Structure 1
Amino acid sequence: MTSKSLPFRFLALTGAVAATTAAHAQIAPAPAAPRSITLPPSSVAPQAMPVPVIQPVPELPRLTPEQATELAQLLEANSAEQGLRRVDAAVAVPEAHDALVRAALDHASAVRTGRLDTADFQSDWALRPGTFDPLPGFAKAVADDRITAWFASLPPPYAGYEGLKAGLTRYRAIVAKGGWQALPDGPDLAQGAKGARVAALRKRLAIEDGEVAATGDSFDAELKAAVVRAQRRYGLNPSGLVSKQTLAALNVPARDRVRQIMANMERWRWMPTQMPKDRVQVNIAAAVLTVFEGDQPVMSMKAVTGKPDGGETPMLASTIHSVVLNPPWNVPSSIANAELWPKGMGYLKANGFRVIGEGEGRRLQQASGDTSALGRFKFDFDNPFAVYLHDTPAKAGFSRFDRLASHGCIRLEKPDALAKRLLRDVPEWSEAAIDEQVTTTTKTVRARLNTPVEVYLLYWTAFASANGAMNFRADPYGWDGVLADKIERRAAAQVAAR
């Protein structure tokens, strides 16, 4: 558990990464115009004056006419399919040779490491793309006459990114055809219903689901199955009943779905070009944890992640180095002041809290045990937000489809299984030893991993399933719209600067 994210950035590790995956630093700038540094007057002797420094301009490769045509066509196609401009933005491809080359270099940087500038990152978007200088690779591609192949090598090399790219093309085509009409409000719709609202529902579902007959006004078994498929795509309870929540998901405009895909593609560009094969990933928006070994998912469980408007779980990358068995809970002052002190000393004593210190510096700690807010397991990894993975006695929260309820930390459905997997190569912490420690005592013990494992807290609200169908989740923190706006503003600024 944690309080509101700290007001500064966390520079994520520079090594290797959802949908289910961040070495990051500043985006490489486009080649700069030559400039000289003018030194101020000084009283030192002339021979001691430093010589003005001239920064050389990188020499741009020269394109043949055929290569210039090829490059212009690639830029026109790729800026749209890579999600680097808004839906209705006109493609502006320079005609002048050097401007065309610079546009290609800018495009390459954006596709490889993201469109955002360092200043665009929020403090709780604690991932940073790696540095990338596109000029050497581009120059070689020109010399070898392999510009198209070089362009193809730029995007993140992940199936998740490719799935989003295909989804972007499909949903932009839907927008071009007019999108879909919002379904009218009314009573819940279930199998057996008839009428105009059912006909509108059928037509709406058919736009995204090719298995649905687009005409007809009867809510039959076929339509119920289509509703269930849609609910699964949107991360909703697959009841087959069209209630307010399902209606709201279906009524998100197609144009907003395009922007959602663009935002998630940008987050993929913040990932390193190679992920560690063994890792733990949390999808914050979907509230799911997945363990990968050998780059394959081997364990998955439900989670409870941070609530919006003050408890957001930050995006970050770190390394789990230890598991704390029977952890006490050192209560953040923000939680203590807002939620615990007002309940009085009787409540605090009855629930295992003790007061440490006096006066304004006093703080609360809850003793370890079954009633502790951290349960029996806590997974530690370094980060400036004081967030971690942990157990919880509040198991009922995992039965909900909306599981954004914590103060920023991640509660786990099966923390014992995760602990045993991470500690399986530590001889003194066999499964039996772990069970004994957490069932027969409340003594706090830190078990260090022999093999630390990287952990990624990521925010995926759009991803493609194995059959290519796009899946969407709610944007509980409002980050998709903010990110899409930043992408579009940066793209417009780049065009204006040419």
Structure 2
Amino acid sequence: MNRPDLIRFLALPLLATAAIPAVAQPPAMTPTQSAPPAGQVVLPPPMAVMPPPVPLPALSQAQDDWANEWLKSGMAEGLMARSKPTAPMHGQQLLNALLDRGRALSTGRVDTADFLEVWALRPAAFDPRPSLAKAIAEDRLPQWAASLTPPYSGYDGLRKGLATYEKIRDTGGWSSLSAGASADVVRARLALEDKSVTGSEPLTAALQRAQRRYGLNPTGLLDARTLTALNVSVDDRIAAIMANMERWRWMPRELPVNRVQVNIAAAVLTVFQGDEPVTSMRAVTGSPTNQTPMLSSNIHSIVVNPPWNVPMSIARKELFPKGRATLAKQGYKIVKTPEGGERIVQPAGPNSALGRLKFDFNNPFAVYLHDTPSRGKFSSYDRLASHGCIRLEKPVSLAELMVASDPSLSGQIQSLIDTNKTQRVSLPSQVAVYLLYWTAFASSNGTMNFRADPYDWDKLLAQKIEASSRRVDPTAVNSTAPAAKD
């Protein structure tokens, strides 16, 4: 990225986030107000009256027919793994079904009450009633339906990929490969997902493409990890696509123009401008036992030469058992807490676990982006090894990018590091940061890419989608019973 692009990246303002309405409280008694006479009953102030729901017009016969047909498209949107028999609906039942489907496509099928705690990326509230009423009145139901889904190429690519994998499943899927499978068998298996496989190209080339799609080392050999990826069932691939489509529905409909995204599952950080990536770097994210949460926040400052205040969970489990003498030799300090306890601090320096830079953003999990003195992991294809924070391959480059619009800071990050002083640098403009979990995504040519599901979130989320669909989707009828007739 050239210098003008860097400046533009930080100069453009972040989109304002929606404010959370405050809960109305009764007015406090001012010093000039006197208490009510003894025995007098004081009535609380009247509660705010909620406006009545927007009334929905009756559907015409043509709208009724269209709506019943459209409600059959739940599988295409990843709201269910297989089509379910449906009974035609009419009147209020049909309107309720449209409202339910509108909410599911806009903010997700799974209710936030059923989220894991670490799924802290929560969709904004959405009421489909006003827009549905308007669409019925103006006879624009298809346009209303098209406006519900996330307006991103990432979601659209998954929707197309879902149709591809459903077709593979419905035509028999694939069988498990063995380590001794013949070249023809392996080639036929690869061709199911990669239409560019030919009988004349070397098998190693086709295997390398598959390995890149799976985020593996492209050796061109049918090694154990490649065999494992190829033997993931087509049903599990569909579940992964469904889970990722649901996560897209949790995203805001307008993303900040300037943002940093971390794909936790792939351990990659990408800087986006609009909906397009402009630069990326490898990262190290949380191990399966120390999961990095999904969340969004704003990076507000960078700490240069940060000390590490070791979290008590790590101190108790990994450091205190070493003994005080060993900790002292390794440069750690044990300090008293105001409560009378003890905590461990690693002073700033080249050996600090946080390296030379820490990128701070508010979140309830105490995670952040940071440098690291341990560089070896960045050359690995298995980079889920942190305690939950995100270690960066090129932290100085990212810091320079973030301060580029400030003449007093631009080009000075390394100089600040070289002072060996701990100091906090406020960014010229806060930069949005999203920690996301993408295990399925489409390339620009439509080919599906998959990553391992290290936290086992895909199957769990797909199961929650199915359960929610069965519980609230009124278009589904008992699969053993015939569909109702008009």
User: What TM-score range do you get, normalising by the shorter chain?
Assistant: 0.7 to 0.9
Superposed, which structure 2 residues align to 1:436-451 within 5 Å? 436-439=415-418, 441-451=419-429
Shifted more, 455-464 versus 94-103: the winner is 94-103
Query: In structure 2, how many angstroms separate the alpha carbons of the residues matched to 1:470 and 1:170?
Result: 9
After TM superposition, give the deviation of residue 295 of structure 1 in Å: 4.1
- Pick the aligned partner of 1:467 from 445, 456, 471: 445
Q: 2:347 aligns to what?
A: 367
Q: Secondary structure at the match of 1:81?
A: coil
CA contact 2:359–2:369 (8 Å) conserved in 1: yes
Matched, 1:115 2:100: no
Q: 1:491 aligns to what?
A: 469
Question: In the TM superposition, what whole-angstrom CA distance separates every residue of 1:124-146 from its partner, at most 9, and x where no partner exists?
Answer: 00011111111111121112211
**Residue identity in the other structure for 1:473:** R
After TM superposition, give the deviation of residue 360 of structure 1 in Å: 6.8
CA contact 2:441–2:450 (8 Å) conserved in 1: yes
- Pick the aligned partner of 1:203 from 188, 209, 212: 188
**Residue identity in the other structure for 2:415:** E
Q: 1:480 aligns to what?
A: 458
After TM superposition, give the deviation of residue 203 of structure 1 in Å: 1.4
Question: In the TM superposition, what whole-angstrom CA distance separates every residue of 1:216-258 from its partner, at most 9, and x where no partner exists?
Answer: xxxx852211100000000000110111100000000001101
TM-score (norm 1): 0.84
- Pick the aligned partner of 1:175 from 153, 169, 177: 169
Q: 2:61 aligns to what?
A: 65
Q: 1:240 aligns to what?
A: 220
Query: In structure 1, how many angstroms separate the alpha carbons of the residues matched to 2:429 and 2:352?
Result: 28
Q: 1:82 aligns to what?
A: 77
Query: In structure 2, how many angstroms separate the alpha carbons of the residues matched to 1:172 and 1:116?
Result: 22
Change (3 A) 1:58 1:136: closer
Q: Secondary structure at the match of 1:175?
A: helix
**Residue identity (%):** 53
CA contact 2:135–2:144 (8 Å) conserved in 1: yes
**Residue identity in the other structure for 2:450:** F
Superposed, which structure 2 residues align to 1:39-50 within 5 Å? none
CA contact 2:15–2:256 (8 Å) conserved in 1: yes
Q: Secondary structure at the match of 1:126?
A: coil
Superposed, which structure 2 residues align to 1:390-405 within 5 Å? 390-405=370-385
Question: In the TM superposition, what whole-angstrom CA distance separates every residue of 1:416-458 from its partner, at most 9, and x where no partner exists?
Answer: 0011111122333232x3212212x321000000111010000
Query: In structure 2, how many angstroms separate the alpha carbons of the residues matched to 1:353 and 1:288?
Result: 30
CA contact 1:278–1:295 (8 Å) conserved in 2: no
CA contact 2:55–2:133 (8 Å) conserved in 1: no
CA contact 2:183–2:203 (8 Å) conserved in 1: no
After TM superposition, give the deviation of residue 74 of structure 1 in Å: 1.2
Shifted more, 378-387 versus 146-155: the winner is 146-155
Change (3 A) 1:56 1:319: closer
After TM superposition, give the deviation of residue 199 of structure 1 in Å: 2.5
Change (3 A) 1:495 1:430: closer
Q: 2:484 aligns to what?
A: none
Q: Secondary structure at the match of 1:247?
A: helix
Superposed, which structure 2 residues align to 1:4-15 within 5 Å? none
- Pick the aligned partner of 1:286 from 249, 253, 266: 266
Query: In structure 2, how many angstroms separate the alpha carbons of the residues matched to 1:96 and 1:436?
Result: 70
CA contact 1:23–1:272 (8 Å) conserved in 2: no
Query: In structure 2, how many angstroms separate the alpha carbons of the residues matched to 1:293 and 1:173?
Result: 35
Query: In structure 1, how many angstroms separate the alpha carbons of the residues matched to 2:208 and 2:358?
Result: 36
Query: In structure 1, how many angstroms separate the alpha carbons of the residues matched to 2:427 and 2:292?
Result: 24
Q: 1:323 aligns to what?
A: 302
Question: In the TM superposition, what whole-angstrom CA distance separates every residue of 1:73-106 from its partner, at most 9, and x where no partner exists?
Answer: 1111x2111111122x414244232211211111
**Residue identity in the other structure for 1:450:** P
**Residue identity in the other structure for 2:174:** W
CA contact 1:23–1:129 (8 Å) conserved in 2: no
Aligned residues: 441
Change (3 A) 1:24 1:396: farther
CA contact 1:320–1:452 (8 Å) conserved in 2: yes
Question: In the TM superposition, what whole-angstrom CA distance separates every residue of 1:379-412 from its partner, at most 9, and x where no partner exists?
Answer: 0000010000000000001000010000000000
Query: In structure 2, how many angstroms separate the alpha carbons of the residues matched to 1:337 and 1:79?
Result: 48
Change (3 A) 1:164 1:487: same
Query: In structure 2, how many angstroms separate the alpha carbons of the residues matched to 1:427 and 1:365?
Result: 34
Q: Secondary structure at the match of 1:274?
A: coil
Question: In the TM superposition, what whole-angstrom CA distance separates every residue of 1:244-281 from its partner, at most 9, and x where no partner exists?
Answer: 10000000000110110000000000011110110011
Change (3 A) 1:24 1:487: farther
CA contact 2:54–2:130 (8 Å) conserved in 1: no
Q: 1:137 aligns to what?
A: 131
Q: 1:296 aligns to what?
A: 276
Query: In structure 1, how many angstroms separate the alpha carbons of the residues matched to 2:185 and 2:321?
Result: 51
Q: 2:325 aligns to what?
A: 346
Matched, 1:337 2:316: yes
- Pick the aligned partner of 2:119 from 118, 125, 137: 125
CA contact 1:75–1:93 (8 Å) conserved in 2: no
Question: In the TM superposition, what whole-angstrom CA distance separates every residue of 1:182-239 from its partner, at most 9, and x where no partner exists?
Answer: 10244xxxxxxxxx5322211111101112247xxxxx85221110000000000011
